Amino acid sequence: MTQGLVPGSQSPALRLRDLRREYKDVRAVDGLDLDVAIGECFGLLGPNGAGKTTTIEICEGLNQPDAGVVEVLGLTWAKSADQLRRRIGVSLQETQFSEKLTVEETVGLFRSFYGTGPSVALLLEQVQLADKRRGRVGQLSGGQRQRLALAIALVGEPELLFLDEPTTGLDPQSRRQLWDLIAGFRSEGRTVILTTHYMEEAERLCDRVAIVDRGRIIAQGTPRALISDLGAEQVIEIAVAANDGVTPVAPAAAAVQAGVPGVLDTRVEGSVLSLRVERLHTSLPSLLDVLRREGIQIEELRTHAPTLEDVFVALTGRHLRDE
Amino acid sequence: MSNLPRPGLRALILVRFREFFREPEAVFWVYIFPILLATGLGIAFRSQPAERVPVGWAEWTNRRPDLFAALEGDSSLVVTRFADSASAARALRNGRVTLLVLPGPDSLRYRLDDTRPEAAAGRLRVDDALQRAAGRLDRLATGNEIVRERGSRYIDFLLPGLLGMNLMGSGIWGTGFAIVDARKKKLLKRLAATPMSRSDYLASFLLAQLVLLCLEVGTILGFGVLAFGVPVRGSLGALLLACTIGSLAFGGLGLLAAARPRTIEGASGLMNFIMLPMWVLSGVFFSASRFPDVIQPVIRALPLTALVDALRAIMLEGASFAGVGRELLVLTIWLAVSFALALRLFRWQ
């Protein structure tokens, strides 16, 4: 159905080499390399301000790089802008469509710019907005607006979809609904490149992710590979209780490092001590012994399997989102 | 739909209409407001016979009952007597009387503010009545022939002005706001990521404006003709051409004002900066010739002055195309320059 499925297509969907973009006092993109294969769902994961949006807008032809190579579907914006605009679909971060138009009028407007593509009715069916088609855009909820943006991204039957934070600010239910839709595009054979700062979104949707920080890619691979590269099977987080106004986190960390087997890494954040361990069942009993011996009270103890968030923390020492 | 040529342009124009007519405020300002304004001003300044002149009579100087009786007998005057100088001065100051008569035994003095035109006119009338009462004889017999012609009333002067002002407002606001709003909402950026022809996008504003223009001119002109009998003496073709070029020139200025700003506030400031001098100087409510001669060339070069002058010449003086050539040229230059600049400066992101 889409050209992306044609076997033997030579060019990758996206090729970036040493991409650079500087604003007044910030290096938004600072020497970024990236390859995305046809048919892949690829995620750019990183905190706000990491350079994800600048990178994706350069790929969409909406922003000019200061230096570097940008090839989209084997073409460059300088030579083939018109063709590229016909072949890609875009959902920007927070576009507000005209509130006075109805849903179907809005999709119809965008549909009119493309020679071929699915009908408005079909598109609205696909994003589950068929019952809202005569409703004004101003009346839609956040999740419905994001689905409208997706329908509009699909009007030209694109081979390559760029989705910039497609689920930011949505409630969990709307987010899951969008995930199902995006997973659907992927199974239709389209290439999807999305940005997100939700690690569960990247883990759930993406074949591969690149972790972006300060305008560079600091790690990339499949979510599973990135996580297993941590070498950790489990993460333990202990909230240390205060004792006479003092929270003895540092002594706790020192004691754990000295006396608990199988600890790969300890990290202190406020009153929380966070450990990456090889095996929960060997580390946890001795951890509890050590803390009891040192007289350290535990306020809360949690364990979880490591996520991309833990990968990011391990690589940068910071969290994806400031919470 | 896609069988007809330029589906994108047609869809964009349709969007312009929908956005306009679904905005009740815009419809009010473009169609209802000028009619309300014309009605109000037409009634306030309706033609009527000259009013009676209020005159003060100083009783404390020297009583001349003979002259007072003559003054009171004049039907064009209303005489108030003042017993003391202070109350007379107060009445003169606040305009309750236009002049004060100070009768002496063998002479008269008038106290008046010579910067007030009605005081000078009042003085002539009072002096005439008193001189006659004192025995002056007129050497020439005189009489009046009253002519009250359509086209010389204030409403006739005002309506072309209001029409011009309205075309300026709808042209500049209509284009400017919609574009800056779309930029602020990142809709411009989103559109720039599609194969949409960028010149189609800008053209859709002007083409939609031309259709709305017909409704606007029809409404205001129709109202003026039907409700007040405002004349349209010249060529209707010339009138429509002047409105079209004028409206497009203002559309171009709106495009220029909206070429860069990212916020509605920034754009409003710019649009008001463009329109304010024309509201004041272009002779919408009173003749622009009242301003000093030094700035007349500037005033005459403003697009609103050109449009209003052309409309008045066509409607009131019966001018044809040739009669408004200079004004049409001024408008065409504004149109070309504002467009060329706007296209150079336009920012999609």
Q: Do A156 and B12 touch (CB under 8 A)?
A: no
Q: Do residues A113 and B196 touch, judged by C-beta distance below 8 A?
A: yes
Which positions in chain B have a beta carbon within 8 angstroms of at least one beta carbon in chain A? Answer: 1-2, 7-8, 10-12, 15, 18-19, 22-23, 182, 185-187, 189-190, 192-196, 349
DSSP A158: -
β-pairing verdict for A191-196 and A160-164: parallel
Q: Do residues B304 and B172 touch, judged by C-beta distance below 8 A?
A: no
Closest Cβ–Cβ partner in A60, A101, A109 for B193: A60
What is the C-alpha separation between A282 and A287, in angstroms, rounded? 9
Closest Cβ–Cβ partner in A85, A97, A105 for B187: A97
Tell me if residue A181 falls in helix, strand or coil. Answer: helix
Closest Cβ–Cβ partner in B8, B10, B186 for A96: B186
pLDDT tens, position by position, B30-67? 888 888 988 888 787 776 666 788 899 998 887 788 88
What is the C-alpha separation between A242 and A34, in angstroms, rounded? 47
Element spanning A269, H or E: strand A263-269
Instruction: Please name the residue of chain A whose CA is at the shortest distance from the CA of residue B178.
Output: A98
Mean pLDDT computed over B243-252: 96
Q: Do A63 and B349 touch (CB under 8 A)?
A: yes
Size of interface A-B (CB pairs under 8 A): 68
Instruction: Indicate the pLDDT class of residue A321, thresholds 50, 70 and 90.
Output: low
What is the C-alpha separation between B191 and A90, in angstroms, rounded? 10
DSSP A132: G
Q: Which of A65-74, A93-102, B281-290 has the highest mean pLDDT?
A: A65-74
Mean pLDDT computed over B241-261: 95
Look up tokens 């449009």; give the residue: B307
What is the C-alpha separation between A45 and A315, in angstroms, rounded? 13
Burial state string for B45-81 with b = 16 or more CB within 10 A and e = fewer than 16 = eeeeeeeebbbbbbeeeeebeebbebbeebeebebee
Instruction: Indicate the pLDDT class of residue A322, thresholds 50, 70 and 90.
Output: low
Q: A88 contacts in B (CB within 8 Å)?
A: 193
pLDDT at A4: 42
Nearest residue to A226 via CA among A66, A83, A45, A103: A45
Q: Do residues A5 and A39 touch, judged by C-beta distance below 8 A?
A: yes
Mean pLDDT computed over A78-89: 94
Interface residue of B194, B199, B264 to substitute, partner A, most A CBs within 10 Å? B194
Query: Residues near B266 by Cβ (< 8 Å), separated by ≥ 6?
Result: B180
What is the C-alpha separation between A153 and A92, in angstroms, rounded? 9
Nearest residue to A104 via CA among A82, A120, A80, A92: A120
Out of A61-75, A218-232, B38-52, B213-227, least confident range: B38-52
Out of A142-156, B5-19, B52-66, B221-235, least confident range: B52-66
For residue B299, give the amino acid letter: I
Instruction: Please name the residue of chain A whose CA is at the shortest distance from the CA of residue B1.
Output: A112
Closest Cβ–Cβ partner in B7, B10, B15 for A101: B15
Q: Do A62 and B187 touch (CB under 8 A)?
A: no
Mean pLDDT computed over B233-256: 94
pLDDT at B145: 82
What is the C-alpha separation between A124 and B278, in angstroms, rounded? 48
Tell me if residue A223 falls in helix, strand or coil. Answer: helix
Tell me if residue A140 falls in helix, strand or coil. Answer: coil
Q: Please determine, for residue B140, whether its predicted confidence score (pLDDT) is greater than 60.
A: yes
Among residues of chain A, what percentage have pLDDT more than 90? 48
Cα dihedral A23, A26, A27, A29 in deg (nearest 10): -70
Distances (CA, A) of B106 to B64, B73, B103: 10, 21, 8
Mean pLDDT computed over A273-285: 86
Q: Do residues A158 and A89 touch, judged by C-beta distance below 8 A?
A: yes
Instruction: Indicate the pLDDT class of residue B148, thresholds 50, 70 and 90.
Output: low
Q: Do B185 and A82 touch (CB under 8 A)?
A: no
Q: A114 contacts in B (CB within 8 Å)?
A: 194-195
pLDDT tens, position by position, B292-311? 999 999 999 999 999 999 99
H helix runs in A2-69, sequence order: 52-59
What is the C-alpha separation between A111 and A155, in angstroms, rounded? 5
Q: Do B189 and A61 touch (CB under 8 A)?
A: no
Q: Sign (positive/negative) of CA torsion A49, A52, A55, A56?
A: negative
Tokens of B191: 């559109």
pLDDT tens, position by position, B84-124? 889 999 998 888 898 999 888 888 889 998 888 888 888 88
Instruction: Return left, alpha or beta for A94; rule: phi > 0 is left, psi -120 to 50 is alpha, else beta.
Output: left
Closest Cβ–Cβ partner in A62, A86, A100 for B19: A100
Q: B18 contacts in A (CB within 8 Å)?
A: 100-101, 105
Q: B11 contacts in A (CB within 8 Å)?
A: 108-109, 112-113
Q: A64 contacts in B (CB within 8 Å)?
A: none
Tell me if residue B168 falls in helix, strand or coil. Answer: helix
What DSSP assignment string belongs to B112-145?
A: E-TT-HHHHHHHHHHHHHHHHHTT---SS-----
pLDDT tens, position by position, A169-189? 888 888 898 899 899 888 888
Q: Do B193 and A82 touch (CB under 8 A)?
A: no
For residue B243, give the amino acid letter: C
The tally of CA atoms less than 13 A away on the side-chain side of residue A58 is: 27
Q: Do B19 and A90 touch (CB under 8 A)?
A: no
pLDDT at B3: 54
Q: Please determine, for residue A30, whether its predicted confidence score (pLDDT) is greater than 70.
A: yes
Number of neighbouring beta carbons within 10 Å of residue B206: 21
Q: Please determine, for residue A323, whether its predicted confidence score (pLDDT) is greater than 50.
A: no
Q: Do B186 and A95 touch (CB under 8 A)?
A: yes
Look up tokens 């005002």; give the residue: B158
Distances (CA, A) of B193 to A114, A232, B1, B137: 12, 43, 22, 89
Nearest residue to B15 via CA among B217, B167, B169, B181: B181
List A277's β-bridge partners, or say none.
Answer: A234, A263
Q: Compute and round to an integer the Cα radius of gyration of chain A.
A: 23
pLDDT at A139: 94
Distances (CA, A) of A91 to A16, A151, A155, A162, A258: 20, 9, 11, 6, 51
Q: Do residues A64 and A57 touch, judged by C-beta distance below 8 A?
A: no
pLDDT at A269: 85
DSSP B185: T
Instruction: Please name the residue of chain B whose CA is at the shortest distance from the CA of residue A63.
Output: B349
pLDDT at A257: 84
pLDDT at B184: 92
Instruction: Indicate the pLDDT class of residue A164, thresholds 50, 70 and 90.
Output: very high
Tokens of B36: 């309300």
Instruction: Return left, alpha or beta for A205; rule: phi > 0 is left, psi -120 to 50 is alpha, else beta.
Output: alpha
Strand A298-304's sheet: what is its strand order?
A263-269, A272-277, A234-240, A298-304
List B108's β-bridge partners, or say none.
Answer: B103
Query: Residues near A198 by Cβ (< 8 Å), separated by ≥ 6?
Result: A167, A168, A175
pLDDT at A52: 92
List A216's β-bridge partners, or say none.
Answer: A213
What is the C-alpha separation between B52 and B73, in angstroms, rounded? 12
Interface residue of A113, A136, A160, A193 to substitute, partner B, most B CBs within 10 Å? A113
Q: Do residues A212 and A55 touch, judged by C-beta distance below 8 A?
A: yes
Mean pLDDT of chain B: 89
pLDDT at B1: 44
Distance from CA of B175 to the nearest CA of A (A): 15
ipTM of the complex: 0.81
Q: Do A98 and B12 touch (CB under 8 A)?
A: no
Among residues of chain A, what percentage have pLDDT more than 70? 95
